[in-house]
Chain A
Amino acid sequence: MSKDMKFLVVDDFSTMRRIIKNLLNDLGYANVQEADDGQTALPILQSGGIDFLVTDWNMPGMPGLDLLKAVRSDPKLAKLPVLMLTAEAKREQIIEAAQAGVNGYVIKPFTAVTLKEKIDKILEQRAA
Chain B
Amino acid sequence: MTPGRDSTPRIFELTNMTSGIDALRAEYGSSIATLAGALAAGDEQLFLSELDLLVHRRERTLFSELRKLTGDLQSALDRFSVDSRLVDLAEKEVPDARARLDHVLKMTDEAAHKTMDLVEQCGPLAERTARSADDISGKWTRFRARQLQVEEFRSMVTQLDVFLVASRTDMDRVRNNLTEVLMAQGYQDLSGQIIRGVMKLVSELETALVDLVRLSRGGPQAAPVAAKDTMSRGFGPAVPGVDNGPSVSGQSDVDSLLAGLGM
- A contact residues vs B (CB 8 Å cutoff): 11, 13, 15-16, 18-19, 22-23, 26, 57-59, 63-66, 86-96, 98, 105-112, 114
Residues of chain A contacted by B245 (CB below 8 angstroms):
90, 92
Q: Is B190 an interface residue (CB 8 A)?
A: yes
Write 20 A-B pairs (CB below 8 A) sorted by A numbering: A11-B189, A13-B193, A16-B189, A23-B179, A58-B235, A64-B234, A87-B193, A87-B236, A87-B237, A89-B243, A89-B248, A91-B248, A91-B257, A92-B246, A93-B234, A93-B235, A95-B261, A98-B258, A109-B187, A109-B190
At the interface, yes or no: B232 with Cβ under 8 Å from chain A? yes
- Would you give the shortest CB distance from A36 to chain B, in whole angstroms? 12
B218 at the A/B interface (Cβ < 8 Å)?
Answer: no
Cross-chain contact B190 with A90 (CB below 8 angstroms): no
Contacts of B183 in A (CB 8 A): 19, 109-112
Least CB separation from B187: chain A residue:
A109
Across the interface, A108 reaches (CB within 8 A) one of B189, B231, B235, namely B189
Are A66 and B189 in contact (CB-based, < 8 A)? no
B262 CB, min distance to chain A CBs, angstroms: 9
Q: Which residues of A contact B190 (CB under 8 A)?
A: 87, 108-109
Partner of B231, one of A18, A92, A105, A106: A92
Inter-chain contact total with CB atoms closer than 8 Å: 101
Chain B residues 217 to 238 lying within 8 A of chain A, measured CB to CB, are 231-238
Report the interface size for chain B: residues with CB under 8 A from the other chain: 31
- Please state if A57 and B186 are interface contacts (CB–CB under 8 Å): no
A63-B232, A94-B254 known; A107+B192 contact, CB < 8 A: no
The answer to whether B64 has its CB under 8 Å from any CB of chain A is no
Contacts of B145 in A (CB 8 A): none
- The secondary-structure label for the interface of chain B is loop
CA distance A19 to B243 in the complex (A): 27
Q: Provided the pairs A90-B235, A108-B190 are in contact, do residues A98 and B248 lie with their beta carbons within 8 angstroms?
A: no
- With beta carbons under 8 angstroms apart, the residue of A13, A93, A105 that contacts B258 is A105
**Cβ contacts under 8 Å, A88 to chain B:** 234-236
* Cβ B231 vs Cβ A107 within 8 A: no
